[in-house]
Amino acid sequence: MDLYTFGKNLFKSYFSVFYRIEVIGADNLPKDGGILLCSNHINNLDPPLVGACAPRRVHFMAKAELFNVPLLKHALPRVGAFPVKRGMSDKQALRSGLSILKENKVLGLFPEGTRSKNGELGKGLAGAGFFALRTDAYIVPCAIIGPYKLFNKVKIIYGEPIDFTEFREQKKSVEEATEYIMNSIKSLIDQHSND
């Protein structure tokens, strides 16, 4: 068993026991082809939650600082994560993300770029729109509804895949594409917050 599968099983058990995790729409992720999986970001546990509950292996773009942490710097590359320098245009990270999508894999992204301090959905950064417009990947919006309080329910919702062909043909801007993705995440949050 590789490290990713081991971690996935471990975290799935952890979330089931301590957060009564409810997974909605996991079958919305297409079984084949590139997927840009975009989620809101409310807690440091979001990446393992998104990865553990997704039926396919997710390659995450993670802040570069994490790759300086002794334990993580060896583990993160082994589970398919790659670094991104925040606050600047990181060409290497963009190339890595494009490569993952063009290889028909799943790229996990938190378009806000950082955790929300108040749990509200923030503004998305242009990276999400860039990847959506530069590849043939499906976009799958994802919503995490917390808060992460022990033994309280946390919900994760995978929305229906969005075909961005029309956006690409109309030569929409990365800002317009990102805004559409963020609105799709917000719709999931609004729809499932009071369930």
pLDDT at position 122 is: 86
Give residue-wise pLDDT tens across range 120-166.
888 888 889 999 999 999 999 999 998 899 999 999 999 999 999 98
Residue 105 contacts by C-beta under 8 Å, 6 or more apart in sequence? 34, 35, 56, 57, 59
Total structural domains within the chain: 1
pLDDT, residue 88, reads 54
Q: Which two tokens stand for residue 162?
A: 């969005």
Reported confidence tier of residue 195, pLDDT bands at 50, 70, 90: low
- Residue reference for tokens 């245009």: 89
Lowest-confidence segment of 3-12, 79-88, 102-111 by average pLDDT = 79-88
Mean pLDDT of 43-67: 91
Which residues share a beta bridge with 134? none
Structural domain including 25 reads: 3-192
As a whole number, mean pLDDT of residues 54-80 equals 87
User: What CATH number has the domain bearing residue 175?
Assistant: 3.40.1130.10
**Residue carrying structure tokens 């509950």:** 53
Give the pLDDT confidence of 90-119 residue by residue, as tens digits.
788 888 999 999 999 999 999 988 888 887
